[in-house]
Structure 1
């Protein structure tokens, strides 16, 4: 596993993950992804069923499934229901895949050969070095569809070029993979999510994810509309309080300096009708005045962020469209693919 030294319908779908029964129901009630084989909250890892597919050249590629846009299909698989993913159909954000011999054939795939490297800058963020450890080719996206109606989030995590940086261990014979999770906040609560892809190189490096620029084609920058957007909002605090043992610690500078999760703030839980794993990143910056006054506090919900923006303590770090739900905080113009795995 490559790691940075200094620092996420139809008959065809039955060929993939099918989960259900009392175990899946119990997991769903506990706020965890039902189809996950095991979730280690303390260790921040989760073990998933591993599926084999084929690349356009016939090489084996291995992937996991975390979302379906179809409710019944999501229930069968034991994955998150994310209906808004269907709004990305017809864009480069969704690969149209085929199935042959029981295996999904992907037009696009991932090169896992690059070495992931992130080095903190003088103030943490921005980093002085930020190189993603994997990159999708011209046709790659984690979103796939076989029928032009249902969209799956099927993240490729291993092939003949190597493995995703989030892989902790992988057992091809048992068809299981354990992946590293990231801690965040949603509605004042803790969540663990899996960060697998980002449409921006810097974000991909910081998240130890695959650079997947086609995800930018997913509609809905700074928008959460159920009928038109494939995205949901995420706030990334840029310059929150630092210090590994500081209870107010949060943000990108802290992640780089303290070696801990940035504690990004997510808009919706995985059970919400507007949930999507495609998080529309909104960078948030504490003002110099708020910093000098010692007002930087850990933010844990969209309402808290909106309040801080309204009070003039936090301003936009992005230059994209303004998000009304965040009191006009601007989007950064890029997406991270981060399925929620557990909520507590």
Structure 2
């Protein structure tokens, strides 16, 4: 679409009544291309290196952190604290802003300032090589504007004009199953002592998460109906369970730890509108749900995990550990009552 010049994209953004993610989909463009249309006119290209970016975001004080995939958006209000950098993975361990970040996916970063009806709106937006959003940070009324200006100046890259050439989006992998390795998977599964060993196990067996669940079978992984998702959220609310809810993409995983209180379905959306925590889930995208039981040294790690039609993970929900205020027995009873699917 050669007519989509930066000037034309700015015009389309001003006229749009939908979110940038949806506008980019309509136009057949990476979302980052919409941001780059404002380079020099409110958008500043930043160094995406986590070692520089996350401490600068931490200096902003209270902000709203947002992470999404195609089917789910999680938003948490808080401050970026307790940052741990790493070559392959990094994290913040604040009770509210709890993130797992994978630096190789943090390719394009921008500070964005636009005029809204209630005044300037300011954000840091990070995208992968294909221009898909990895993570966003939205400033709030109490955010530190001096730190914002310092971030824009200190992390700005030299080139603020050349438009990026975004790569191709990776094709969905679907369920990856290694025929003939089911017995090995089951034998190794029961030897796990930590949930983090799972990824290494399935990679070694040339599988992925969904493929492993389809392969290992009960009692380790049991299929649930798609209706188990709203049932899960309602039961967590009604039983006042403390949970850990993981939502993310290949570049960032964001975690909500605590209760779920205010559930507001709207059309295909299942919305959680709690104080300092919002979730927006396209329940109609979910085609597979699994109840998964992994052994650990501290007892079973039981999760409900939802996948979309491409086999991509939408969210995971675990019961909070007892030492963090969770109720392991109550969580086990809750998930046991979710509707089971007849077939995987």
TM-score by length of 2: 0.26
Between Structure 1 and Structure 2, the one with more helix by share is 2
Q: Which has the larger radius of gyration?
A: 2
